[in-house]
Each structure stands twice: as C-alpha cells, then as structure tokens.
Amino acid sequence: MNNTDPFPGDNLEINTSLEEKLEKILPLVEKPGRYVGGEYNSIIKDWNNISTKVALVFPDIYDIGVSNLGLQIFYERINQLNDCLAERSYSPWIDMESQLRKYKIPLYSLETKTPLKKFDILGITLPYESLYTNALNLLNLAQIPIRSIDRGLGFPLVISGGHATYNPEPMAPFIDAFLIGEGEEIFLELISTYQIWKSKNQPKIDLLNKISHIDGVYVPAFYEPQYYENGIFSNLLLKNKKSPKIITKRIMGKLPYSPTHFIVPSISVVHNRIPVEIMRGCTRGCRFCHAGMINRPIRERDVNEIVDTIEKALDNTGFEEIALLSLSSSDYTNILELVNQISDRFSKRNLTISLPSLRIETFSIELMEKLKGSRQGGFTLAPEAASDRMRGIINKPISEELLLSTAYEIFKCGWTTLKLYFMIGHPSETLEDVAEIASLCKKVLAEGHKAIGKRAKVHAGVSTFVPKPHTPFQWVSCDQPDLIRQKQNILREALKGRGFKLNWTDPKETMMEAWLSRGDRKMAEVIETAWKNGAKFDAWQDFKNYDIWMQAFTENDLDPYFYVHRERDLKEIFPWEHIFPGVRKTYLKTEYLNSMSMKLRGDCRQQCYACGITQTFNHLREEDPGIIWKCPNLVTKRRANELSLSN
Ligand code: SF4
C-alpha cells in the first residue's frame, strides 16, 4: 500500500475524543506503551495557559528515539521556559500507522495527546538521511501538508536540525527553516522571534523573514538553486536580497548544561541509560569522517561537572548504565580521572560505564581495568583500514603493532569478543587493501588465542564509505555496487573460520545513503515520489525497497549515478556550500590533496592546521576563556591589545 492511500473511515465517530479512539485501537497494536506517554520525568504543562507550544519529533520509532540526547536537551530546556511547553512524538510503527490512518486519527503528542498540527512549532530531528521519508510520513500522519509552500498560518512552523541537515537541500521544500549547528541557543532565539511575530498577527512570510536573520537559521524558500545545462549545480540565487549568502553553523563557546531528568520509558527500549556528553568535536582529522569535520572545535566538560550531572541523573532516573559520549571518548583529557571519580563516588550503585568510542592510541590498560565491569557485549575498536597505504589516505595512522598488543590486553582483561570496525571503498582502495583487512582480523584472533585460547572471537563490522559533504573526500565518487560486492566477497571467503563473524552493509543501502547525503534540491522530488510509493523506515532491513527508489529516479528523470559515482572536479561548487561549518573549503581541498600523497596530519590539538574553526569562532572563545577549548590559542590583534593593556 502507498503511504498516501486514503483509508476508509471506520465506525469511530468523528466526535469521539482522541483519547477514546486511542483506547479502542491501542489493544490492537504491538507495544502500546510506545504511544501513551506518562513516563517518569515526562512533563505536562498547562496547555491552556502557555502561549507557545513546541512539538519535538524524532522520525523513528519510540524505542530508538526516546533515548536521543538532542531531543532530551531541548525537551528539558524549553520546558524550563514559563511561557513555553515542549511535548514529544515519534514515528508510529506500521501497525499503529494503519490504525491511525484507518480511523483518521492525526498523529499526536505523547504528553497531552494533542494533534501535532495544533502546535506552534514542530521540530524534526534529522541525525541521518535514512529518516527523510519517515519525516514526510510523520507530517502526513499529522495531517500537515508535507511541502512548506502548502502550509499556511493554520499549521505549525516546521523546523529541523541535526547532522543530516548540513546538506539541507534534499529536504529543502519540506522544511520551513533549518537550524544549522548546535541548537541550544538558536532554538530559543527562534522561539522568542516566533512569539513576537505571533503577537503581531502578521503573515507567515514575515515570520520566515525574521527568523532568516537569526545566525545559523537557513530558510530555503528564500533561495533558488541554479544548474548548468548538464545538471550540475551552479549557484544559489537569493530570492530575498536581505537573506545571508552563507549560513554559518552555531556553536556554544562553553558546553551548556547537561540534562538530568531523562525520560524513563515504561517499556523496553534500545538504550536504558544516562547519556552524558563529555566533550564535543574531534581533532583527529580522519578524512572520511563527517562528524569529525562538522563538530569542531573540541570543547571539554569539566570532570566535576560531569560527575555532578551523573549523580543528579542517577537520582532522577534510577538507571544503572552511564554512557560517556563523544566522538572519541578516550581522547578526553582527564578520562582516567573521570572514570576513577565515577567508580569511587558511585561504588555502591553497581553501575555500568560505557565508553562507546575509543581511540586505540589513547586507550590504556588502566582504563581497560576500570571498564572491566562492563564486559558484556564485547569490546569495540575501529581501525577503519588495515594497510599502511589506506591508513595514510584516510589519515588514521594506527600501527599494527599497537593494535595487536591492545587486542591481546583486551582479551587478557577478560573480554572474549573483540569487535573491529572497518570501512571499505575509501578512495583508491585496491582488492589487496581489502584482503589486508582479513589478514589483520586473523592476526587479532591469534592474539586472542594467545591470551585466552579458543574462547576468543573477532567480529568484523565492515561498512562502505560514502563521500560526505563538508569532508576532504567530498570530491570523490562511491564504489560501484558490483565492486563493493567483490570486496565483500573477499572478506566473506577469508573470514569463514571458527572465531570470526562478519557483518557488512548492503551496497544498495550504501547507494541510498550516498544519493540522499550528496543530493541537491532536485533530490527532493525523488524523496517525495519514493515516499508516496511506499518508502519509509529506510534504515530498517525489512523495509528496504530499492526498486521504489529507482522508480522514483526514473519518474523524475534523474540519474542516481550522477549523484553517487561522478568524481567531482576540484572547481565544482557543491549544492551544500552555502552552509558553512566553520571548516574552510580550502582546508578540505588541501586535505584531499594530502590524502593522495598519503600525507599524515596529526592530532591538531598539538599543531593547528588552520582549518578555519578558530578564526570563525574566536569571538566565542574570547568570551569564554579557559581550558575547555582544545585548539591551540589564536591571539587576535584585539586580544593582544587587551592583554598588553591589562599588563
Ligand atoms: S582550528 Fe586548528 S586546532 Fe582547531 S580544529 Fe581547526 S585545525 Fe584543529
């Protein structure tokens, strides 16, 4: 059935309240707890006495979305405002969607069961591209027109943010405004602009106009992409001359407070834990890494602040697992001190501490000893490549010797399974490079055998590289699906033996990720067509439907090859260039050229390579001096004058 097929209304009368309708349909769906709210720490404010209502929406099922840290941050922060409330909604699973459509029940918020269309602002989190069709489906289920142009004053302002919106163009016609970068301040600024506008009874265009002047807000309706005859993007025409040509991401000079009143789900979900962000940004400079480029600079939280946050969150939730989150947790300057303090302060609570992202270079046996209590589930390292040549190309120089000795220690410490993450398809990769992944896995298993005998296991997770916007590899093309399969077969053949397990990404899934992340605004037509023809839950194995997508390309006379397999000229202008993450294109280009000669760049905390971040955001750093920023200090003329005056 297509997503937009109308369902016949059944015999639940129009006048039946939403709550009464839910009572009838919830017994018919799996895990009704996903749709009822009322969880511990959920916040219900007086709808009638609050002027501004915000719906925070995660376009995947409750089980995944409820533990999303970004959504939790905004939920707590907005609800702290006296004149605002925030409620939540998630994508209903297929069975619930059928019931909602059957009885024409609009998608609603969990807290007060209010239809999403009645909110003032609807914020959709888009952390990854495979949620695009879910976002459209969610709007449709909420009985809100999916296209911005069709939403008049009677509908909420639809905004979006998250990693996937650093290339907003594929979703541009559907979203009124994108919040680019860290949203803690910008969201609140947008709300207060909305409140002023609402008090004056002005048309929607005035609202769009006003919010387009907030730093970091991109209103796509004011920009019109232009293309050369061959279909390549040429430039973005400003339809509103006052709109900014470049939208620079927003960041926080000092990391804002961490939430401590996490929602405690009443049903089993993917993560029942307290996520604490210990730092933002990464300075390792892996050339394929989107998150590493767009989240610069590194800003760390203070150890005491983190431990206090954990204490409050434990008291408020009763969770027993702490996840210390960052792009590279073992790079956090005081990681040992932090883990020690947590272990000491909460020794009676039987806590599990997880550090989801560990760098092999900064990982120590001492830290491993501290994490012993969290042994279930295996230990994870991400070498990404196995040959020295590829390590030079991607700028992840991990010596094999160090990897093997670390693996030995991990097994020796009591873990029986070591998970290794690799990525195939990096620029210039050969079949020999791929074969080295298998050889490395065998050497690691041999270390395991030495340490703990035949109980040792190696699980290799092999994803496929997608050249993401705003990275040094944004100019390169993706491997063709046949070549990806050939590479995967090499690994399948080589890692058949006892002790190995291999996971890989379906090449079709990689193609989808590539064309969605690299698309221009024309891609929006493909997304809409694919969604109308049934595409949704594109990240879910059971729902992948490549044929629907290929058909959508054909219907819109577009070629997926053009987006995915075309190597870009160095002079090409990308459709995402009006979004500026603070890292300059010239730096990315230099890094791309460095990759071809396998030139390594070290951790830029030791030596700055002038990526542009410090220059772009130095004013914030000066406002908030201290040791939290890890970029080497840049002393501007103004600062130098201030310093000499104060001396
Ligand atoms: S400004 Fe320098 S130190 Fe900071 S992220 Fe960029 S390259 Fe690294």
Q: Does 21 contact ligand 1 (Cβ within 6 A)?
A: no
Cβ proximity of 521 and 173 under 8 Å: yes
CATH code for position 162: 3.40.50.280
Task: Assess whether the C-beta atom of 128 lies below 6 angstroms from ligand 1.
Answer: no
- Residue 219, domain member (yes or no): yes
Closest CA to 456 of 399, 412, 495, 404: 412
Q: Is residue 532 part of a domain?
A: no
Which residues are CB-contacts of 316 (< 8 A; sequence separation ≥ 6)?
Answer: 41, 260, 261, 262
Question: β-strands 417-424, 457-464: how paired?
Answer: parallel
Q: Which of 249, 279, 587, 611 to mutate to test the pocket of ligand 1 (most atoms within 8 A of CB)?
A: 611
Give 332-363 pLDDT, tens digit per residue: 999 989 988 998 888 888 888 888 777 777 77
DSSP letter for each residue of 415-436 = --EEEEEEEE--TT--HHHHHH
> Does the C-beta of 613 come closer than 6 Å to ligand 1?
yes
Stretch 573-597: mean pLDDT: 97
> Which carries the bigger pLDDT value, residue 11 or residue 198?
198
Host H or E run for residue 238 = strand 233-238
Same domain, residue pair 175 and 304: no
Q: What is the pTM of this model?
A: 0.93
Q: Residue 110 — very low, low, confident or very high, per pLDDT cuts 50/70/90?
A: very high
Q: Quick one: average pLDDT of 358-387? A: 76
Whether residue 543 contacts residue 133, with contact meaning beta carbons closer than 8 Å, is answered with no
Sole residue written with tokens 């053949």: 493
How far, in Å, CA of 532 to CA of 371, rounded? 48
Using alpha carbons, list the distances in angstroms from residue 208 to 157, 167, 250: 9, 20, 19
Decide which of 231, 248, 265 is a domain's last residue.
Answer: 248
Q: What is the per-residue pLDDT across 460-493, written as a single tens digit (0 to 9) for each?
A: 999 999 999 999 999 999 999 999 999 999 999 9
Residue 10 above 50 pLDDT?
no
> What pLDDT is recorded for position 569?
93
Cα–Cα distances (Å) from 572 to 294, 300, 371, 393, in that order, read 20, 36, 47, 22
Contact 471, 518 (CB under 8 A): no
Q: Do residues 209 and 71 share a domain?
A: yes
The atom number, within ligand 1, closest to the CA of 296 reads 5
Interval between CA 608 and ligand 1 midpoint (Å)? 5
- Confidence (pLDDT) at 647: 46
Residue nearest ligand 1's atom 2 by CA = 608
Structural domain includes residue 348: yes
Q: Which atom of ligand 1 is closest in space to residue 614's alpha carbon?
A: 1
Residue in 386, 402, 529 with CA at minimum distance from that of residue 460: 386
Contacts from 413-417 at CB under 8 Å and sequence distance 24+? 413/365, 413/368, 413/369, 413/372, 414/372, 414/375, 415/375, 415/378, 415/379, 416/378, 416/448, 416/452, 416/455, 416/456, 416/457, 417/377, 417/378, 417/379, 417/456, 417/457, 417/458, 417/459
Contacts of 499 (CB under 8 A, 6+ apart): 445, 448, 449, 454, 456, 457, 458
pLDDT for the residue numbered 283: 86
CA gap 263, 603 in Å, rounded: 37
The full 3-state SS of 272-340, as one line of letters, equals CCEEEECEECCCCCCCCCHHHHHCCCCEECCHHHHHHHHHHHHHHHCCCEEEEECCCHHHCCCHHHHHH
367 within some domain: yes
Atom of ligand 1 nearest to the CA of 607: 3
Question: Is residue 297 situated within a structural domain?
Answer: yes
| Whether pLDDT at 589 is above 70 | yes
Measured by CA distance, the residue closest to atom 8 of ligand 1 is 604
Residues 350, 310 share a domain: yes
What is the Å distance from ligand 1's center to 614 Cα?
6
77 and 136 together in one domain: yes
Q: Is 295 in the pocket of ligand 1 (CB under 6 A)?
A: no
For residue 296, the enclosing domain spans 273-376+583-647
605 pLDDT more than 90: no
Provide the mean pLDDT of the chain.
91
Domain presence at residue 564: no
pLDDT band at 7 (very low <50, low <70, confident <90, very high): very low
242 plus 288 within the same structural domain: no
Take atom 6 of ligand 1 and give the residue whose Cα is closest.
Answer: 611
Smallest CA separation from ligand 1 atom 4, residue: 631
Tell me: the pLDDT tens digits for 230-283?
999 999 999 988 899 999 999 998 888 899 999 999 898 888 889 999 999 998
Per the structure, the count of domains in the chain is 2
160, 285: one domain: no
As a whole-number percent, the residues of the chain with pLDDT over 70 amount to 94
Does position 456 have pLDDT exceeding 70, yes or no? yes
Q: Does 444 reside within a domain?
A: no
Ligand 1 contact via 631 beta carbon (within 6 Å): yes
Predicted pLDDT at 522: 98
On whether both 146 and 292 belong to a single domain, the answer is: no
449 belongs to a structural domain: no
Mean pLDDT for 196-211 is 95
How far apart are alpha carbons 55 and 47 in whole angstroms? Answer: 12
- CATH code for the domain in which residue 647 is found: 3.30.750.210
